[in-house]
Amino acid sequence: MPRSVTISLPSDRAPLLVEELSAFDGTLSLSRQRQASVRPPGDVITVEVLDRSVSELFALLSRYGAGSDDGVSVITSEPTGIVSASSSAALAGDPASSSFEEVETMLEREASMGANKVLAMAAAGAIAAVGILTNAVHLVIGAMVIAPGFEPLLKVALRVTGRGRSFRRGFVDIVVGWCVLAAGAAGAGLVLRWLGVSPGSPSGGYLAQGGLESYWREVNTTATVVAVVGAVAGAVLVIANRPVLTAGVMISLALVPGAALIGIAVAGADLSMAVDGARRWAHDAVIVTVVSAGVFGVYRFHRGRGLGEPDRDPAG
């Protein structure tokens, strides 16, 4: 999808940038408003570019101070529709993907464990615990969709490639989110035990008693293959600007069930289950982080440098 990029920069740099953007491959439209920006002060330049040219555009803008100069700001958006007779052929063949700057911004937004997401993780843990203890797989799947726990892992993976703002913040989000999910599962486990529902007790579920618990306690070759493929799919979906579909990736992984087993084990003082759940969660979490970092690294090499790595400054 083409991007609309709005650049605010000092007026003395604007003429040269307009000249370069006019000759830039992938430019669909270009406009300049003199002295229109109040903060940062200066001119506002708006350019619509093809998706395949976004990374090259960011590399160009880095030479004007984007990403390193407080006097320059860049905002991207996606137009709802574009009607352009002169660019119709180029638009038809334009792929859908995100620049590293857009991936970074999206992950900063989606990975941060604010109050709402913490509550969602707790609810997901409780629902997953009920599903595992009653052998209702649809409840576990629902918990996988609810839990916003995939993006923090990708945030750390992105930082491994040299992008992203902080390992520390990413790890904090991971620890907070997944510990809260385990705590939610522990709370639900305690309530269910009080009601007489525990591993090994008749549950009235539609699967064999203990089937879900034993499945997610196991680490085997199949689990590894699925985790690797799921990690690749998740990173590619984020790059393709389709993060909403990462819920499907979460269903293929054992992150939520593994963390929920830890909570259930705490509620029942079952050390063996806690160890198995932690091992399965760590197995998938490490694979997701490492494999996603590899995908991001390959994509970064393919698409170019982007912001934050200037090689010259037109402003002198």
The tens digit of pLDDT for each residue in 75-115 reads 988 877 777 655 665 656 556 667 777 888 888 888 889 99
pLDDT one-digit tens code per residue, 52-74: 788 889 889 999 998 889 999 99
Q: What is the pLDDT of residues 192-220, one digit of tens each?
A: 988 887 665 555 555 666 678 888 999 99
**What pLDDT does 204 receive?**
56
Architecture of domain 3-95: 2-Layer Sandwich (3.30)
Question: What value does the mean pLDDT of the chain take?
Answer: 86
Flag whether pLDDT at 243 surpasses 90: no
Domain with CATH 1.20.1080 in the chain: 102-302
- Which pTM value belongs to this model? 0.77
Could you give the percent of the chain with pLDDT greater than 70? 85
What is the helix (H) or strand (E) element at residue 295, kind and residue range?
helix 271-303
The one-letter amino acid code at 145 reads V
CATH code: domain 102-302 is: 1.20.1080
The predicted model gives 228-248 an average pLDDT of 90
Q: Where in the chain is the domain with CATH 3.30.70.120?
A: 3-95
pLDDT in tens, 137-159: 999 999 999 999 999 999 999 88
Residue 161 pLDDT > 90: no
158: closest CA among 297, 309, 304?
297
Which single residue is written with the structure tokens 């999808």? 1
Strands 3-9 and 73-77: antiparallel
Instruction: Specify whether the CB–CB gap between 141 and 251 falls below 8 A.
Output: yes
73 beta partners = 8
**pLDDT at position 312 over 90:** no
Least confident of 130-134, 156-160, 186-190, 299-303: 299-303
